[in-house]
Structure 1
Amino acid sequence: MPLVIVAIGILVLLLLIMGLKINTFISLIIVSFGVALALGMPLTDIVKTIEAGLGGTLGHLALIFGLGAMLGKLIADSGGAQRIAMTLVDKFGVKNIQWAVVAASFIIGVALFFEVGLVLLIPIVFAIARELKVSILYLGIPMTAALSVTHGFLPPHPGPTVIAGELGANIGEVLLYGFIVSVPTVIIAGPIFTKIAKKLVPESFSKTGSIASLGEQKVFKTEDTPGFGISVFTALLPVILMSLSTIITLIQNTLGIEDNLFLAVIRFIGEAGTSMLISLLVAIYTMGLARKIPINDVMESCTTAITQIGMMLLIVGGGGAFKQVLIDGGVGDYVADLFSGSTLSPILLAWVIAAILRISLGSATVAALTTAGLVIPMLGQSDVNLALVVLAIGAGSVVASHVNDAGFWMFKEYFGLSMKETFATWTLLETIISVAGLAFILLLSLFV
């Protein structure tokens, strides 16, 4: 059975990494080959599938990840991140800093893809943690909880937006109900879960994180840092550009305005890659040249940022290769066939299928789209609210992130955690988001 092969593959992967201490990227590639062979894929297709998975994942991530790393590095090296951190500390105080991080991450997460938000926020979280002398995980869990919830539940993120289109759901309703579900889910998965995680794996809260992957963190005198306003503007410029594009596109679709060159340019600027490039160029000026920092020093920061994320990019790409093997090997189709003709509630069924596909395939977007294709035939016989089905699929698609998901490895590497600690924090965090989200969706279905 395909699911048994997947389970064995994951166990072998854990053995290679945890037991034999083999490099994570090498382990992922070894297991990708092994699972492909076990699934009976043609020998001539295996290497092509692995290359396609690695290239496809990095093709989406490398540009955003690289530009985001450089942007974050410039803000950190100039003292901008420290200025933001100190201002937040002054305004919110030590007791409320978690809530400040949650609010900021949620707002940023609405407009940004998960990976972009993580790359932008991680230097600031490190700076705040250093300033307050608190664990980076104490702030990191609420940050990633907010980013993950927005990624799974709220348009304009790819999952909920595309699923809404596939099911014919009103995207405004998806956004409205998504916010109603997201707020309590973030509170539970963020500040509340942090207290639980601290009891489960207390040693993980003493980790200093992968500060090396972000470069040596400099400490500045306040007067030597850029202003708070310009620092926040530079950090949030990608959010501003993407939000502007999204709002204008929504207005265009709502009013039925015909497409034209101006709207095409706005959409182009709002693309993640374009927004990140424009923001980086602005940062080169605001965080560097405007402060009389030589261009050679500014470029040195950019070079260092890319050098230090090389292995992380390979690890993320390796996760993409494993995911592609599972898709091309027929695991997704097998799981979909298991549930054809089921009589479960559409909301619950959508969540269950998305959850199984997510655990098997790793990709939340692939799991969500596959689930949408399966539940569409059942919706004609039900009066269930389509927006709630969209949200249920989104909830299921974020459950139990583990070794075949890029987010798992990013979280592990950034926060310097062991495999056990990553399962007890990141994997459990994603599961809480999924289950709490489903609970609030079912509760909401009683009223709408």
Structure 2
Amino acid sequence: MELLIVGFGILILLFLIMKVKLNTFVSLVIVSILVAVGLGMPLTQIITTVENGIGSQLGHLALVFGFGAILGKLVSDSGGAYRISTTLINKFGRKKIQIAVLTASFIIGIALFFEVGLVLLIPIVFTIASELGISILYLGIPMAAALSVTHGFLPPHPAPTAISGIYEANIGMVLLYGFVIAVPTSIIAGPLYTKIAKKIVPDAFNRTGNISALGEQKAFSIEETPSFGISTLTSLFPVILMALATCYELVRGGKITEKSSMIDQVIAFIGTPGMAMLLSLIFAIYTMGIRRKQTMPEIMKSAEDAIKQIAMMLLIIGGGGAFKQVLIDGGVGDYVAQLFVNSTLSPLILGWVIAAVLRICLGSATVAALTAAGLAAPLMATTGTNPALMVIATGAGSLIASHVNDAGFWMFKEYFNLSIKETFATWTVLESIISVVGLIGALVLNLIV
């Protein structure tokens, strides 16, 4: 009965978002309340549950997401992302141009959110393709693969960061395992799949693209941009801090507590996601702003623009947190755990399947991942599955089969001037490859660790 109520709630959510065109955040809150009523929760408790869900989700995420958005904006506005991409492309040369684009997109994708990275990199890809006389899609597929992998697998991106909190996973471990899985996944879904895509839809590789869909772009001269080294270091700084703290804890052996030495506590403190992002942001303000003779008002203008861009996404994530909390407080999570208590099905597969179904239905990878995590978390706890791998498996499921209800589908179609069929054969398939390979990677690592 509980699952029927949840299923009915998801159908209402689909109707509100796709047919009524109601804002996603408002739709999530309405559905959360309706599902709570359907589950028989006390009416006086429902709004408290919704508020707690939004508060706990954003309380964990606001620092990381907010600071991350500002950092990415500073790297973008200063020309740091432009420097990274052009330097790597020039370094690798024509023969390895796909690997150059993949590497640049991966580095930039860690610092920038998916849509921002796509808009920033496409003009560069178009220019390089024109100079070398090659297909824009030949470079576009590796670029999209790298951006999508970082979006789905690696903090500080919204979904992996948010579900790390739900699963109580160490974000440093999510990063370490995420990198191990993300690199081969990017190569398979990018350069390797490009060879197959050329045979499936050869005409798509003759398109000239539609750069006008991007609007007016800021032009950079290489001389005015920060150096490659400082741009890369700034982009990767939060990842480096969190990874170093995690590696230190692993080498040290045992969890760091308030009784540990001061050095241990300082390293753990610096490596916490919120602190790592704050230190990285301060570093970026200097390297991407002050060091380049920018005034503080100019730097803060970029910061304000970044926050405006993510405001609605923060609310949507909060709405997803409300729905998740209703599922937990309403007993749905425990019910799912009981259903699978004697099952041999891995929680990694369950989390992936739930996220995949929701992704196909809803379109939003972030909402799909959050809802799936709320359902799978109790089962993970009872089976002792590695929380970091649960994050990656659920994130992978939330990427599958992007189609007409996902903004990314239409962005890719318009920018590369593709038909619907060609977009399905390129974008939808590469997203599905990332999803399946990500799950396989999590399952393999689960056998090792």
Q: Same fold (TM over 0.5)?
A: yes
Q: 2:246 — aligned with what?
A: 246
Q: Are residues 1:142 and 2:146 paired?
A: yes
| Structure 1 residues 207-222: aligned runs within 5 Å | 217-222=217-222
SS at match of 1:278: helix
* Matched residue, 1:6: 6
User: How far is the alpha carbon of 1:373 from its aligned partner?
Assistant: 3.1
Measure the CA separation in 2 of the matches of 1:282 and 1:446: 39
Report the equivalent of 2:302.
301
What residue in structure 2 maps to residue 382 of structure 1?
Answer: none
Question: What displacement does 1:150 show?
Answer: 5.9
CA distance in 2, matches of 1:2, 1:402: 26
Q: Do the aligned partners of 1:71 and 1:120 also contact (CA within 8 Å) in 2?
A: no
Question: Pairwise mapping of residues 420-435 of structure 1 onto structure 2 (< 5 A)?
Answer: 432-433=433-434, 435=436
Offset of 1:218 from its aligned partner?
2.2
Q: Is the 8 A contact 2:168 2:387 kept in 1?
A: no
Name 1:26's counterpart in structure 2.
Answer: 26
**Which residue is 2:237 aligned to?**
237
Query: 1:371/1:340 Cα in 2 relative to 1: closer, same or farther (>3 Å)?
Result: closer
Q: Which residue of 2 aligns with 1:320?
A: 321
Residue identity opposite 1:341 in structure 2: N
Aligned-partner residue type, residue 380 of structure 2:
A
Q: How does 1:163-174 map to 2 (within 5 A)?
A: none
1:13-412 alignment, distance < 5 Å: 13-93=13-93, 96=96, 98-100=98-100, 102-103=102-103, 117=110, 119=112, 123-133=116-126, 134=136, 138=141, 139-146=143-150, 148-149=152-153, 158=164, 184-191=184-191, 217-253=217-253, 259-342=260-343, 344=344, 348-355=345-352, 358=355, 362-363=369-370, 366=374, 369-375=377-383, 396-398=393-395, 400-401=397-398
Summarize the Cα distance change of 1:269–1:416 in structure 2 as closer, same or farther, 3 Å threshold.
farther
Tell me the TM-score normalized by structure 1.
0.71
Structure 1 residue 446: Cα displacement: 10
The alpha-carbon distance between structure 1 residues 189 and 277, as it changes in their structure 2 partners (threshold 3 A), is: same
Mapped partners of 2:237, 2:64: distance in 1: 14
Name the CA distance, whole Å, in 1 between partners of 2:323 and 2:20.
Answer: 19
| Aligned amino acid, residue 285 of structure 1 | Y
Query: 1:379 maps to which residue?
Result: none
- Specify the SS of the correspondent of 2:248: helix
Aligned partners of 1:83 and 1:227 also within 8 Å? yes
**Cα 1:191/1:340, change in 2 over 3 Å:** same
1:43 offset after TM fit, Å? 0.7
Q: TM-score, normalised by structure 2?
A: 0.71
Separation in 1, partners of 2:153, 2:290: 37
CA distance in 1, matches of 2:448, 2:382: 26
Whether the aligned pair in 2 keeps the contact of 1:80 and 1:228 (CA below 8 Å) is: yes
Shift of 1:208: 7.5
**SS of equivalent to 1:397:** helix
CA distance, structure 2, for counterparts of residue 261 and residue 414 of structure 1: 49
Query: Aligned-residue CA RMSD in angstroms?
Result: 4.7
User: C-alpha displacement at 1:393, in angstroms?
Assistant: 5.2
User: Percent identity of the aligned residues?
Assistant: 46
User: Structure 2, unaligned stretches of length 5 or more?
Assistant: 127-135, 359-367, 415-419
Q: Classify the secondary structure of the residue corresponding to 1:247.
A: helix
User: Partners in 1 of 2:293 and 2:441 — Cα distance?
Assistant: 52
How many residues end up aligned between the 2 structures?
A: 402
Alignment-mate amino acid for residue 354 of structure 1: G
Shift of 1:267: 0.9
Name the structure 2 match of 1:113: none
Shift of residue 158, structure 1, vs aligned partner: 4.8
Secondary structure at the aligned position of 2:318 is classed as helix
Q: Which runs of 5+ in 1 are unaligned?
A: 110-115, 165-170, 377-385
Cα shift readout 1:30-73 (whole Å, capped 9, x = no counterpart):
21112111222211111111111111221122111111111111
CA distance in 2, matches of 1:181, 1:263: 29
Distance 1:161 1:35 in 2: 22
Q: Cα gap change, 1:368/1:234 in structure 2, threshold over 3 Å: closer, same or farther?
A: same
CA distance in 2, matches of 1:314, 1:424: 33
Please report how far the alpha carbon of residue 411 of structure 1 lies from its aligned counterpart in structure 2 after TM superposition. 6.4
